Amino acid sequence: MPEPVLELAEVNVFYGAVHALRGVSLRVNEGEVVSLIGGNGAGKTTTLATICGLLRPRSGLVTYRGADVRRTPTHVLVGQGLVMAPEGRGIFPNLTVEENLRLGAYTRRDKPAIAADLKRGFELFPRLAERRRQKGGTLSGGEQQMLSIARALMGRPKVLLLDEPSLGLAPLVTQAIFATIDQINKEGVTILLVEQNANIALKHSHRAYVLETGEVQFNGASTELRNDPRVKAAYLGEG
Amino acid sequence: MAEVSLTTEVLQYVTNGVAKGSTYALMAVGYTLVYGVLQLINFAHAEVYMLGSYFAWYQAKWAGYLPDSKGARAETVPLYMVALFVAGAMAACALAGMLIERLAYRPLRNAGRLAPLITAIGVSLLLQYGGQVVFGTEPKLFPTFAETVVYDAGGVKIPNTNIYIVVTSLVLMLGLTFFVNKTRPGAAMRACSHDMRTARLMGVNVNATISLTFAIGSALAAVAGVLVAMDQPAITPLMGVRIGLKAFVAAVVGGIGSIPGAALGGLLLGVSESVVSGLWKPVYSEAVAFVFLIVVLLVKPSGILGKSVREKV
């Protein structure tokens, strides 16, 4: 079995009295795209927030590259290559596209490499290059999503966490974003992807976990889940 | 006494006001920095200023520069010693500011806005009255930090203390602007002021950045505390109350959250106070600050240089 780069074992998370994650276990192997699908309130975003240290699990283990990271602060994890592009994109509206991108490289000090990565980001998303001096708040939803992903890449992630990259985007834009996600993965970045759009998430991932009310209902290879009648009925609008 | 023309007289009040306004500006920056990052009005900031004066006073005392201290030395303190006292007061106040944040505000970080605000008033009162217990209610007399020399610029009298005040403030404000806009910790401060959660996801150590913000604001308040004490040598534990209120007004008038706004607000307030009190009556000068506040809030609620922020939905 390949070594997992990220692993959750029996994780329980509470918001006050609300039991948000109920014994969630999942693993992400080096080089994979893993998707986490499920409806609203299933615990997908909570899972990501727990992984990157914004929330603390009440019990269970979270390991990143073999180390227990339950008590590791978010900013330290970012420095170790665990980077999240948040839901709602978290663009700094009053900063320009370029300033947003440069903040993505906040943990790094290697100036020439940062400049190279900036150039690389603009190649990956030419739309951002055109708008490099524009304020983040003036971008369209799709452009903001591109900026969010490009900014996360500026942190040189080993594992990239993407929270709802298709949220609020037109189908064509979503297609383009996911094509880029494939490309980022091919370049060696491991990706954990949270999506409500199960269809596209299963198409663009190797394996998937289906969350429902804080529990993992199914998991397996994405191609298999796409043909699973239960998943089809509940999440793919077929059946 | 020779007849003085009105122009000269007004210029005199303006130059005095610039010096006064510089100290307001130094203080206003402290309010603005903390507000920018935490959306908190740190009412205890005025008391950090007071502490700055006392820290400098104690250093002068221990170094034997007070007239009544044992083996008192020369009457005036040489400039390099003044610099040393200022540095000491800055360091001590930076520490005090960070402690206040750590002990009083950080535990309430997720408690909404009202609880930290009330706490800030509480810390302010605690320091005012705690200060009276520790330092005594009697005013302490500052040693003469600089032999007063008055320069004459075409009839306008400029004491050297005013020059020190203005130059020091200017250098510090420019340094701060550079720091916030051009350095890595400055970038972290700006990121936190825009969106703390996202800043954290970019790898910014938010707690350290907030501590730094308090440290910088408090160190500047310490400088203001020493500069003002050079000019008005009687210091008391309640000395921060008035200047604190006015510096807060200056920050709001200039646009809270904006560093150039704090500088502008401070200068406007200092100059107008000085002119009103000179040409009209000193008692009215106090009212000017608040008239300013009301007018600005009516015309441009975000302050002169403040950005109108869209409400987050």
With cut-offs at 50, 70 and 90, classify the pLDDT of residue B312.
very low
Give the chain B residue whose CA is nearest to the CA of A90: B198
Nearest chain B CA: its distance from A120 CA (Å) = 19
Question: CB of B198 within 8 Å of any CB in chain A?
Answer: yes
With cut-offs at 50, 70 and 90, classify the pLDDT of residue B310.
very low
Residue from the list A74, A92, A102 with its beta carbon closest to the beta carbon of B200: A74
With cut-offs at 50, 70 and 90, classify the pLDDT of residue A36.
very high
Q: Determine the Cα–Cα distance for residues B305 and A217; give it in Å rounded to an integer.
A: 54
Residue from the list B191, B200, B203 with its beta carbon closest to the beta carbon of A155: B203
- For residue B197, list chain A residues with Cβ-Cβ distance below 8 A: 54, 86, 90
Reported as a single tens digit per residue, the pLDDT across B237-253 is 999 999 999 999 999 99
Nearest chain B CA: its distance from A75 CA (Å) = 4
**Number of domains into which chain B is organized:** 1
Reported as a single tens digit per residue, the pLDDT across A37-95 is 998 889 999 999 999 999 999 999 999 999 999 999 999 999 999 999 988 778 998 88
pLDDT at residue B74 tops 60: no
Task: Inspect the interface and report whether the beta carbons of A104 and B202 lie closer than 8 Å.
Answer: yes
Q: With respect to residue B125, please indicate whether it lies within any of the assigned structural domains.
A: yes
| Eight-state DSSP code of residue B209 | H
Mean pLDDT of chain B: 89
Nearest chain A CA: its distance from B208 CA (Å) = 11
Interface test with A, best of B202, B205, B212 (most A CBs within 10 A): B202
**What's B97's domain CATH number?**
1.10.3470
Reported as a single tens digit per residue, the pLDDT across B107-121 is 999 888 899 999 999
Could you tell me the end-to-end alpha-carbon distance of chain B, in angstroms, rounded to an integer? Answer: 65
Q: With respect to residue B1, please indicate whether it lies within any of the assigned structural domains.
A: no
Task: Inspect the interface and report whether the beta carbons of A103 and B202 lie closer than 8 Å.
Answer: yes
Using a CB–CB cut-off of 8 Å, the residues of A that contact B are: 52, 54, 73-75, 78-79, 83-84, 86, 90-95, 102-104, 106-107, 151, 155
Which pLDDT score, from 0 to 100, does residue B301 have? 84
Which pLDDT score, from 0 to 100, does residue B75 have? 64
Q: With respect to residue B309, please indicate whether it lies within any of the assigned structural domains.
A: no
Which pLDDT score, from 0 to 100, does residue B72 have? 54
Task: Inspect the interface and report whether the beta carbons of B198 and A90 lie closer than 8 Å.
Answer: yes
Mean pLDDT on B155-182: 92
Domains and their CATH numbers in chain A:
4-90+157-235 (3.40.50.300)
Interface test with B, best of A45, A48, A75, A89 (most B CBs within 10 A): A75
A217: exposed, middle or buried (Cβ count in 10 Å: 0-12, 13-18, 19+): middle
Q: With respect to residue B305, please indicate whether it lies within any of the assigned structural domains.
A: no
Mean pLDDT on B49-61: 94
Reported as a single tens digit per residue, the pLDDT across B125-160 is 999 999 999 999 999 988 877 677 889 888 888 998
Mean pLDDT of chain A: 92
pLDDT at residue B71 tops 80: no
Nearest chain A CA: its distance from B187 CA (Å) = 8
Q: With respect to residue B307, please indicate whether it lies within any of the assigned structural domains.
A: no
Q: With respect to residue B312, please indicate whether it lies within any of the assigned structural domains.
A: no
In SS3 terms, chain A reads as CCCEEEEEEEEEEEECCEEEEEEEEEEEECCCEEEEECCCCCCHHHHHHHHCCCCCCCEEEEEECCEECCCCCHHHHHHCCEEEECCCCCCCCCCEHHHHHHHHCCCCCCHHHHHHHHHHHHHHCHHHHHCCCCEHHHCCHHHHHHHHHHHHHCCCCCEEEEECCCCCCCHHHHHHHHHHHHHHHHCCCEEEEEECCHHHHHHCCCEEEEEECCEEEEEEEHHHHHHCHHHHHHHCCCC
Task: Inspect the interface and report whether the beta carbons of A90 and B201 lie closer than 8 Å.
Answer: yes
Of A1-10, A113-122, A143-152, A180-189, least confident by mean pLDDT is A1-10
Nearest chain A CA: its distance from B202 CA (Å) = 5
Give the chain A residue whose CA is nearest to the CA of B189: A103
Domain that holds residue B264: 6-299
